[in-house]
Structure 1
């Protein structure tokens, strides 16, 4: 078996870590022989051609042979210009026969690097020490979906690196080492654990994520943290603004126990129930986190699409009674009618010239309060 085939297979015997993940932490230096004075402080595109990248291993979960191969790939593949950006990036590991991806990000400490070379000019000399965190995952695609979680993870590493710059002989067993070991468990698998532990109330969990304003209580700290991450990812609070009515102001309490979680008096929509079934389509256990991540992204996208479609129908309904009827039918079949009305009314209230739209929405609001959102089995909108 080749070394390429072994990159992530080598860690399967380590029961303390997930077989799908690995990590590596490097220090790096960018050097250039006899550079132009202006290029030392602000390297330009032409000066980058003469820059060499030096990566020194601090710690890795890979075997020695595999880490060397990965480092060679990283040094040649990594664009030198990207080292001047603090943004994390995701790339494929093309040297392997089995599919793999990795996330890498530049981190800096506040401690200066005073190493100088006689023949080379060190771009980091006298400045902050520089580190590269690499998070490797045995997957063909999907790691880019977790970019925000991995950026958050790297933000957690920064204080440890800035206050106590890691040294090669002191990393094992350190808090930094513990975080690196658990990156996949804490920041990717949380979705799978939420589905596995909370599948009986998954529709309510999705509804809470849309609504927001929750309080999580209990003794299971791991599940509490997982649910909090689930809600933070699934929420639409940054995309839509819900009205501040009494119902939405009321805080939903999630009680976490060893068996899972329960909710205070809380109803979920048919829309959330349907999407819960999508999340459970692979089963309630051992669910692929990348599938779950994409499914929840689609869940959020569908809500936004329905909101926009409903707004267009309301605009037409201002002068067309048939469009008013179609608006009501749309509310019935989308399974999320109350949310659409609430969002549309909230937006109309914030606009100066929206009296016509508000009049239409008030009619729909009053009608649905009396009659509900009666299902219509088949129709064309």
Structure 2
């Protein structure tokens, strides 16, 4: 079952390259009750795999590895031959694929076999920036490893593709959409609406676009709950579909419903994303730059929400602050989503929120960055 191979070298669009690797272990307890690791597969050389195993065992036996929570740590060795750059490792402890649960089985399954997945790269790739993507990828891997028996070969093969799936996907999406498509993608994410892909778009690109949209959505950042929209809204031409465009400057373009428009703020974010993913630097550097722009986009959403909450609280006793809240929402281009999340959080400002909702439902929002009919 154990296999030791060569490290992977990822060539970028330019001349530089980085070294990546991966390792997969079963985590169990030895005869003394101490944590032990059984190697499933590794792309490291035997001496480096031994160093990695010792590092993981020290962490496990100190109780410093928490199930379901990934961590990034620098290691004392490099991955590539002749490379002096120390490696960085993302590792996570996850339960193997559970059986169908019921109340009787739950206690037994909680004590079942676990797995540790390790993803390694050169330190300049900054894996900690992509921890959400790495965690989601590892969860999908662990879910297909049975609690008993050997690990499927297909899982080991998929694990080798972790770098392209978790990091370079950002560059592929930027290359496929361009500034305008990215602006519409960000608008969909900010308004917390699902998007659709036309059937001719290949499965890999569909998954890439959906992953990027999920990563910059507001639900995970604010109330951690999706907003609800009227049933059947998407069937009435209110949704956004990305289509394949063989004759256009970019592989995908948005099919925009009537009444939609992109305002200056969201258009600028689309341009910033496109610039971050443009040529001139290595692919892993472009991916890191795209991720930084996305983080800034999410941070702006959080700042808008915090500013609105302050204005709502002040508006309970100050009518001028109510006017300021109204102007702020109109300029944000995101009034519906911000007000909905404010309602989800509850508090004493519900009367103020209802006044603002009544105003926007009556007068509309001429400053929105995207409208739906």
| Structure 1 unaligned spans of 5+ | 1-8, 34-39, 41-50, 112-126, 376-381
Q: Which has the larger radius of gyration?
A: 1
Cα-to-partner distance string for 1:282-302 (whole Å, 9 max, x where unaligned): 342435323323332331221
Change (3 A) 1:177 1:323: same
Cα-to-partner distance string for 1:300-321 (whole Å, 9 max, x where unaligned): 2211221331343344446545
Given the alignment of the two structures, is residue 373 of structure 1 paired with residue 349 of structure 2, yes or no?
no
C-alpha distance in 2, partners of 1:270/1:14?
Answer: 37
Aligned match of 1:228: 210
**Superposition RMSD in Å:** 3.8
Aligned match of 2:254: 263
Aligned match of 2:42: 60
C-alpha distance in 1, partners of 2:292/2:10?
Answer: 30
C-alpha distance in 1, partners of 2:62/2:367?
Answer: 57
Given the alignment of the two structures, is residue 104 of structure 1 paired with residue 91 of structure 2, yes or no?
yes
Change (3 A) 1:82 1:289: same
C-alpha distance in 2, partners of 1:245/1:270?
Answer: 28
Q: Secondary structure at the match of 1:218?
A: coil
Given the alignment of the two structures, is residue 89 of structure 1 paired with residue 86 of structure 2, yes or no?
no
C-alpha distance in 2, partners of 1:164/1:257?
Answer: 47
C-alpha distance in 2, partners of 1:187/1:89?
Answer: 14
Q: 1:205: Cα distance to partner?
A: 1.1
Change (3 A) 1:104 1:318: closer
Query: Higher relative CO (CA 8 A, sep ≥ 6), structure 1 or 2?
Result: 2
C-alpha distance in 2, partners of 1:146/1:27?
Answer: 24
- Please say if residues 218 and 257 of structure 1, whose CA atoms lie closer than 8 Å, have aligned partners that are also in contact: no
TM-score in terms of structure 2 length: 0.70
Q: 1:93: Cα distance to partner?
A: 2.2
The count of corresponding residues between Structure 1 and Structure 2 is 322
- Please say if residues 315 and 321 of structure 2, whose CA atoms lie closer than 8 Å, have aligned partners that are also in contact: yes
C-alpha distance in 2, partners of 1:361/1:14?
Answer: 52
| Structure 2 unaligned spans of 5+ | 1-5, 78-83, 99-110
C-alpha distance in 2, partners of 1:276/1:178?
Answer: 35
Change (3 A) 1:187 1:320: same
Once the two structures are superposed, the pairs formed by residues 237-256 of structure 1 within 5 Å of their partners are: 237-238=219-220, 239=222, 242=227, 244=229, 250-256=238-244
TM-score in terms of structure 1 length: 0.69
Q: Secondary structure at the match of 1:255?
A: strand
Cα-to-partner distance string for 1:175-214 (whole Å, 9 max, x where unaligned): 0221111111112221121112212321111111223132
Cα-to-partner distance string for 1:89-134 (whole Å, 9 max, x where unaligned): 32322314525321222345589xxxxxxxxxxxxxxx84553221
Aligned match of 1:144: 128
Cα-to-partner distance string for 1:47-82 (whole Å, 9 max, x where unaligned): xxxx4x544433211233433333333334554424
Aligned match of 1:278: 272
Q: Which of 115, 132, 136 is the equivalent residue of 2:116?
A: 132
Given the alignment of the two structures, is residue 343 of structure 1 paired with residue 327 of structure 2, yes or no?
no
C-alpha distance in 2, partners of 1:325/1:183?
Answer: 50
- Please say if residues 199 and 284 of structure 1, whose CA atoms lie closer than 8 Å, have aligned partners that are also in contact: no
Q: Which of 71, 76, 83 is the equivalent residue of 2:53?
A: 71
Aligned match of 1:199: 178
Q: 1:229: Cα distance to partner?
A: 0.9
C-alpha distance in 1, partners of 2:360/2:20?
Answer: 51
